[in-house]
Amino acid sequence: MIKINFLTRWWQKLKKVFFILLAAQFIYIVLLRWINPPITITQFTNWVDGYGLKRDYVDFEEMSPNIRLAVMASEDQLFPDHNGFDVASIKKALQNNKKKSKRVRGASTISQQVAKNVFLWQGRTWVRKGLEVYFTFMIELIWSKERILEMYLNVAEMGKGIFGVEAASQAYFKKPASKLSRTEAAMIAACLPNPKKYTIKPTSSYINRRYPWILLQMNNLEGDEDIDRLLEQPKPVKKKKSKL
């Protein structure tokens, strides 16, 4: 009887902790719709591993439309249309991985990458992938597509210890992200699959092969109504003149 009471008390405590954590993470997701994360697990581990931490969060309108288009062309051409998951690409990736188990093919959307980069850690465990599905669903539900893309361009690793498009633009081209040209944006997007390996300076052979393809895809995507909506610069709010 004593043992049963002991287990019951522990079960009640575990449920309480679970609901507190559930509420806390929900509040955090909602807050991140307007504020930027103080630090992510990936940023922290990079700093611990000696790569440093260079980042400078900027607003959506401070990012050149070229870099927004480049990452969609490179990473997720269906980003404006899907609900966080590209089912067709996931099926292709699963089929490919069965045939070539040593060469794993990914199928992560921009939304999934944001879920991983902001809330989780790097890796391919089933636990992490399961949590990634949950957080992807939540940010698609609570955030806008503009906010997801803005967050992606602020937290994605773009070089050794370099996070976000502003830090990358300053490190590689000595200019703010708002001034990135199409070619510069395509080069940054080209490094995203493995920014520590595919270096922009010095330019790796992979970058030299990849960025012309991204430029071509950027040309193909322009004119798509949903894509163009994410490329529009927000109109400045006109301040009302006070009457004397």
Give the pLDDT means over successive 10-residue stretches in the chain (244 positions): 70 82 92 95 94 94 96 95 80 54 60 96 86 95 96 96 96 97 97 95 95 97 93 59 38
Residue given tokens 């994605």 in the structure block: 156
- Asked if residue 219 belongs to a domain, the reply is yes
Per-residue pLDDT tens digits for 191-213 = 999 999 999 999 999 999 999 99
How many other C-beta atoms are found inside a 10 Å radius of the C-beta of residue 25?
A: 14
Q: What domain range is 67 assigned to?
A: 54-230
Whether 16 maps to a domain, the answer reads: no
Q: What is the DSSP string of 15-69?
A: HHHHHHHHHHHHHHHHHTTTS--S--HHHHHHHHTT---EE----GGGS-HHHHH
How many domains does one find in the chain? 1
pLDDT in tens, 122-131: 888 888 899 9
Asked if 58 and 149 touch (Cβ cutoff 8 Å), the reply is no
β-pairing verdict for 157-159 and 54-55: unpaired
Q: Half-sphere exposure of 205 toward its Cβ, with a 13 Å CA cutoff?
A: 0
The CATH number assigned to the domain holding 188 equals 1.10.3810.10
pTM of the model: 0.85
